Chain A
Amino acid sequence: MNIVVCIKRVPATDTRIKVGADGTSIDETQVESIISPYDEFAVEAALQLKEAAGAGEVTVVSLGPAETTKELRTCLAMGADKAVLLKDGDAAKRDAQTTAAALAACISGLNADLVLCGKQAVDRDQGQVGTLLAAKLGLPCVTEIKKLEVADGKATVERAGDGGTTETWNVTLPAVLTTTKGLNEPRYAGLKGIMAAKKKPIEEVDAALDDAHITVKSLELPPPRREGRIIGEGPDAVDELMRLLREEAKVL
């Protein structure tokens, strides 16, 4: 089975955000990067499917700046076979449609049986590239899966539905699935993996980018929250809390 995984290079989750000089994106100097956490579940799922089948190939694709080879190398060290970097210095700012189109142009040539994405890249938090990619490739899509089984060219997946329900979907492959927490525990790349990754190929190509579909007018920091306040100590503070919730916050 040919499995393609889409990963995005994003700022580490503990990054302090500063507005960049252009006023529409963040200041990326001194920002540590990581693989977007949800994408790690996608990589792990692909590796587990390949291992279970004892055959197949896992290709990792990313639209990102040249430095994304660091994140792609990590995926190779985890066990992926090869990687494709669609070079785009401004990948962080691309809208979902442009990103999906660039990924689709690459993936349509990869003969994939399954395409896995994270449910959301934790930079722009758009939560839609996987679904748009499926639309562009003309493939079925199930989002936010927390369980995945593949047999006989079909995937059976579970996702959380409304009101605490669990939905089971039967999906004909090829398909695009987006992953969420709970699906698996992503592995760490061991020393052996890191050594092996050095010999694995990363193909670098210029991304095919269309014009933006949506305009970012401005990026700003949120207004500061009201200053935190300690109202008391121990159980005796409960009366004062009740009073504040009733009279000041009016939430009771």
Chain B
Amino acid sequence: MAGDILVVAEHSDGAVKRPSLEALTCAAGLAGSLGGSVTALVAGPGAADAASACGAHGAAKVLTLDVDVADTNAWAAAVAGVATEASPALVLFSHTARGKDLAPRVAGKLDRPLASDCTELSVDGGAVVARRPVYAGKALVNVSASGTLLATLRPNAVPATENAAAGETSAADVKAPEKGLGAVLAEIVAAASEKIELTEAAVVVSGGRGLKEAANFNLVEDLAAALGGAVGASRAVVDAGWRPHTEQVGQTGKTVSPNLYIAIAISGAIQHLAGMRTSNYIVAINKDPEAPIFKVADYGIVGDAFEVVPRLTEAVKAAAAAG
């Protein structure tokens, strides 16, 4: 129906991911204004177990899709199949590793526009308006479409809150989706240890060239571990080969928007700021009081990272131990 919203919810073994709970919360608010309801689409093993969390966050209905989620193209075909039947106002994804790969595929199949990496969605005159950063967050655009709009929601942009709805589960009646289309997933190699996805983390601790050598990143890793956060890096450090490309924060790396961003020995070049300036709180530790990072830091400490960071890590651990 015209005011309805489909939310593609990601989960692992039935545990719905936080960015998806945020998308559901956002959708529930919009559906209220549009006079429609929210349907969550879940796929993959354990999909049925994801239903109650979807319901608790505002989904009136939960459709399970019987597809192989490793095959993004098949998954996209299934979502497109449901969307064609439902002709909703909005199909919402999270701007996660999977979501940003999946959403353009669905857009291609439906030939409908996609507003990617939105930080806010609202309703104006009965239509969904998507607000999204452009030019690496140096500007924002507000976009809308007539008819179904697709959007991906940036993690941490909208807090997840409970908003109980029926959460009635049924299996989606989608035609057997096309197979692979020439691209077949051959292998997935797990990381040495399960990592918190940088773009989804609530806390990010990043290190820069001021740390002098790769081995000193243990300072960053220890603080990140104490805070339960993810590790990021400046481009200088990635280009030097100290850290993998997947950890680069900035205009040509990842855009992060955590609750807390800690920049250690990073100068704060415009391209780095582009990737983290929308973080809720920014802490900077740098020995140069003139470093541009201090212009955006809510809490700046002028000092030597090798002295300040270990003390901070101890303090965080002590606070955690004290409960």
Contact = CB atoms under 8 A, between A and B. Distances in A.
A125 B303 contact: no
Interface residues of A, number: 83
A234 B180 CA distance: 56
A162 B196 CA distance: 9
B20 to A, nearest CB: 13
Interface bin, chain B: 35 or more
B242 interface: no
A121 B228 CA distance: 32
Contacts of B135: 11, 15, 17, 26, 122-125
Contacts of B140: 219-222
B299 A231 contact: yes
A217 B197 contact: no
Interface string B90-110: 000000111011011101110
Query: Most B CB atoms within 10 A — which of A19, A128, A139, A252?
Result: A128
B143 A234 contact: no
Contacts of A230: 289, 294, 297, 300-302
Interface string B188-216: 11110111110000010000000000000
Contacts of B103: 128
Given A13-B251, A241-B312, A252-B319, A169 B296 contact: no
A53 interface: no
Contact of A169 (B108, B113, B185, B245): B185
A24 B141 contact: yes
B138 interface: yes
Nearest to A93: B141
Residue in A95, A213, A214, A239 with the greatest tally of chain B CB atoms within 10 Å: A214
Interface stretch (A65-73, A82-90, A129-137): A129-137
Decide if the interface of chain B is mainly helix, strand, loop or mixed: mixed
B316 interface: yes
Given A96-B113, A131-B108, A238-B312, A220 B139 contact: yes
A46 B129 CA distance: 39
B183 A244 contact: no
Given A219-B134, A229-B297, A249-B281, A131 B312 contact: no
Contact of A95 (B109, B113, B134, B278): B113
A118 to B, nearest CB: 10
A160 B194 CA distance: 13
Interface in B145-193: 145, 149, 180-191, 193
B308 interface: yes
Contacts of A201: none
A162 B312 contact: no
B136 interface: yes
B61 interface: no
24 contacts: A17-B138, A24-B141, A97-B113, A122-B135, A143-B100, A165-B188, A166-B188, A170-B184, A213-B112, A220-B139, A220-B142, A222-B137, A228-B296, A229-B297, A230-B294, A232-B302, A235-B308, A235-B311, A237-B301, A245-B283, A245-B299, A246-B319, A249-B298, A252-B319
Interface of B: 73, 96-98, 100-101, 103-105, 107-109, 111-117, 129, 132-145, 149, 180-191, 193-197, 203, 238, 244-246, 248, 251-253, 259-260, 270-271, 274, 277-278, 280-281, 283-284, 289, 294-304, 307-308, 311-312, 315-316, 319
Given A96-B104, A230-B300, 11 more contacts: A14-B270, A14-B271, A97-B113, A142-B183, A162-B96, A163-B196, A171-B182, A181-B253, A229-B299, A234-B301, A241-B299
Interface of A: 11, 13-17, 19, 24, 26, 37-38, 95-97, 122-128, 130-132, 134-136, 139-144, 146, 156, 160-172, 175, 180-182, 213-222, 225-226, 228-235, 237-239, 241-242, 244-246, 249, 251-252
Across the A-B interface, the 9 shortest Cβ-Cβ residue pairs: A135-B108, A164-B191, A140-B182, A182-B245, A164-B195, A131-B104, A128-B104, A214-B113, A140-B183
